[in-house]
Amino acid sequence: MKRLIAVCLVAMSVCVSSAMAETWTTIDMPGESYTFPRGISGSNVVGWSSPAGLGFLYNGTTWATFNMPGANGISDDGLGINGNNIVGQYHDSSTGNWHGFLYNGTTWTTLNMPGAYNLSPNGVSGNNIVGTYTDVSGNYSHGFFYDGTSWATLDYPGATNTYLRGISGNNMVGWESGGPNGDHGFLYDGTTWENLDMPGHSGGTLLFGVDGKNVVGFYMDLSGYHGCLYDGTDWTTLNAPGAMWTAAYGISGDNIVGQYGDAGFQNGHGFIYTVPEPSTMAMMIGAVTAGGLFFRRKK
């Protein structure tokens, strides 16, 4: 009889755990038709919206816009956040050129890599910034790493173009293109380049965000765009409920931000996706199993 009780308790724990569902929350900036979250740090989400053409910061309750003083607007290509630091790209109305920026909530700093054109900072971690720039010929894109003092070019070996999008500690992610088989995601730890592609899909994998060992982005197949999460071992497809397409751009802890398109392909909506915690089920099963063993010993 006591063995039966132990088995029932285990079954109950599995039922309770399986009830945990993934959580999707739509975030649309008031008055805007296009909300484009690009990065997340804690509860703060950074992104871009249209038709305003400005950057936004959303803390879960309040929306605030920002723009480099004197700039013609913020680019939707880029934008990253870590703590109080935000990086991105702005348009210089006086010269018509695009420049990188670092904004700490108070001070704006222009970022120009020597010899680079069209610099686009995309990710920040501590004092380190990564992104992409175009060379002086205007034909190829290169990744860059900036530690606040020194600039370094980072090119995926053998690739024509390298797009560096996110950084967390020593880990950097992005994708390379120019080869015969389309776009391929990568993880670079400062020494080794590792190719990361969604298994079974050759349409291309683009990676944008990283937090610890977790990487997010999207992949393409015949049915369209699908968000993806890679935890260092397993790949998970992320499709917002009812969406025509989904793209993930940033991750912080269990929260992922990105954008999805509605059924009419007219509006781009921002989202926050909360990853379910599988460890909860393991802990419950472990606890109840221990109880089951206790019952058996008492028999």
Given a contact cutoff of 8 angstroms between Cβ atoms, the answer to whether 176 and 143 are in contact is: no
115 shares its domain with 200: yes
Neighbours of 3 (CB within 10 A): 11
Lowest mean pLDDT among 104-108, 116-120, 125-129: 116-120
Given a contact cutoff of 8 angstroms between Cβ atoms, the answer to whether 131 and 87 are in contact is: yes
267 shares its domain with 179: yes
Q: What percent of the chain shows pLDDT beyond 90?
A: 68
4 shares its domain with 112: no
Question: Is the predicted pLDDT of residue 266 greater than 70, yes or no?
Answer: no
The CA distance from 38 to 198, in Å, is 21
284 vs 275 pLDDT, higher one: 275
Residues 6+ apart with CB under 8 A from 58: 27, 29, 37, 44, 45, 46, 47, 64
Given a contact cutoff of 8 angstroms between Cβ atoms, the answer to whether 131 and 164 are in contact is: yes
Neighbours of 172 (CB within 10 A): 25
264 shares its domain with 146: yes
180 shares its domain with 290: no
Question: Is the predicted pLDDT of residue 101 greater than 60, yes or no?
Answer: yes
Predicted local distance difference test score (pLDDT) of residue 89: 96
The CA distance from 293 to 196, in Å, is 42
The CA distance from 218 to 247, in Å, is 5
User: DSSP labels for 168-197?
Assistant: ETTEEEEEEEEETTEEEEEEE-SS-EEEE-
Question: Domain range spanning residue 42?
Answer: 21-276
Predicted local distance difference test score (pLDDT) of residue 206: 96
For residue 184, the domain's CATH number is 2.120.10.30
270 shares its domain with 245: yes
59 shares its domain with 39: yes
Total number of domains constituting the chain: 2
Question: Which tokens belong to 119?
Answer: 């610099």
Classify residue 148 by its DSSP letter: S
113 shares its domain with 138: yes
226 shares its domain with 297: no
Question: Is the predicted pLDDT of residue 81 greater than 90, yes or no?
Answer: yes
183 vs 46 pLDDT, higher one: 46
115 shares its domain with 229: yes
| Range 110-122 average pLDDT | 92
168 shares its domain with 100: yes
Question: Is the predicted pLDDT of residue 180 greater than 70, yes or no?
Answer: no
Q: Structure pTM? A: 0.85
163 shares its domain with 76: yes
Given a contact cutoff of 8 angstroms between Cβ atoms, the answer to whether 122 and 104 are in contact is: no
Residues 115, 46, 163, 228, Cα dihedral to 10°? 170
Label residue 279 by pLDDT band (50, 70, 90).
very low
Label residue 222 by pLDDT band (50, 70, 90).
confident
